[in-house]
Chain A
């Protein structure tokens, strides 16, 4: 994804959901800040999932702020993907990289 990213968000703070904010950074890399109700048990796994999801979309130079309220993996993935697509202004996603 070579487009310039804007700040964007997706999701809610309701139980079983996650709220994801995308903030573009000047430097390269993907920074993840996670708050999770299940941080102690699943924190590392959730961070790995967020990173893998963002990398698959070929983004760089972003900070992902994720507030997880006990969401299933696919919910976190869907929220991260939606937030990144919104940040890129991409309305026709490449579904083959989102599975």
Chain B
């Protein structure tokens, strides 16, 4: 199955009207409205209402949307779910996922609401892992629900749980990143890295992006739109990769036209995963602006 590009997931505080109305302009792969940590207790209701309407507005019809809801054990979690599922959100970001039960409980609540609404949409889930317990359970979490499209690292809470703090080198996140990535890949779902908070530090941001891209992450959460083009450029495929992808896809097309069951390129067999990889590179190239949409 073709994978959706999710290099950039832009966090948008649900209480920031300007950002809620304008986030689509910056063209992140996913807009992630936040109803949790960035919203004051006194504004939970107004942020929920704002996001409920934004999700239904035409400006968000052609962009993937996610909402980070409040935990179900808070007074706000179920109210958030009811509003945003009704409004047609694509993904629910489940904060502070420590165990499989956290995911299953959320999955059940989503299913109940969807069944009641009868709108036929199957909302996806993104589990954010933000504790040592969550990292230890990451493999089971990643495999526990068909709704899960990915798992993400929430680094700020995680380092607090480890009794340490974030550094530029990121050694404190090494184990968590590796565990989350392996868990996601074993379950064949997406892996998403945490935010890089210092918006002015482009060099530090790029260093981190190259690192997580090298590990195999699909993308990263962002808190500032400035970082979107930096991130997308870093994920753009090289000319060598694009030329290879074009050759693979041409060989596949040629074999299909000639009715050949086996595809070969330069004497090597080309199988389905290689073709998927080539298509993925072409998608990335188009999304990054390296190739035109019609190429």
* CA–CA, A99 and B56, complex, Å: 8
Interface of B is mostly: helix
* CA–CA, A44 and B121, complex, Å: 37
| Cross-chain contact B82 with A72 (CB below 8 angstroms) | no
* CA–CA, A46 and B79, complex, Å: 28
| Cross-chain contact B52 with A98 (CB below 8 angstroms) | yes
User: Within A8-32, which residues are at the interface with B (CB < 8 Å)?
Assistant: 10-12, 14-17
B157 to chain A, nearest CB (A): 27
- Interface size for B (C-beta < 8 A) is 17
* CA–CA, A81 and B56, complex, Å: 16
A77 to chain B, nearest CB (A): 6
User: Within B28-71, which residues are at the interface with A (CB < 8 Å)?
Assistant: 45-46, 49-50, 52-54, 56-57
| Cross-chain contact A78 with B50 (CB below 8 angstroms) | yes
* CA–CA, A12 and B47, complex, Å: 12
User: Within B1-52, which residues are at the interface with A (CB < 8 Å)?
Assistant: 17-18, 21-22, 45-46, 49-50, 52
B286: Cβ under 8 A from any A Cβ: no
| Cross-chain contact B21 with A10 (CB below 8 angstroms) | no
* CA–CA, A78 and B53, complex, Å: 7
**Do A95 and B17 contact each other (CB < 8 Å), given the known contacts A10-B46, A82-B46?**
no
| Cross-chain contact B18 with A17 (CB below 8 angstroms) | yes
| Cross-chain contact A16 with B18 (CB below 8 angstroms) | yes
User: Within A48-99, which residues are at the interface with B (CB < 8 Å)?
Assistant: 71-72, 74-75, 77-79, 81-82, 85-86, 91-92, 95, 98-99
B86: Cβ under 8 A from any A Cβ: yes
| Cross-chain contact A77 with B53 (CB below 8 angstroms) | yes
| Cross-chain contact A92 with B52 (CB below 8 angstroms) | no
| Cross-chain contact B83 with A82 (CB below 8 angstroms) | no
* CA–CA, A10 and B50, complex, Å: 11
Interface string of B82-116 (1 = CB under 8 A from A): 11001000000000000000000000000000000
Chain A residues closer than 8 Å to B22, beta-carbon distance:
16
* CA–CA, A60 and B33, complex, Å: 33
Pairs of residues from A and B, 4 with the lowest C-beta to C-beta distance, nearest first: A74-B53, A17-B17, A82-B46, A78-B49
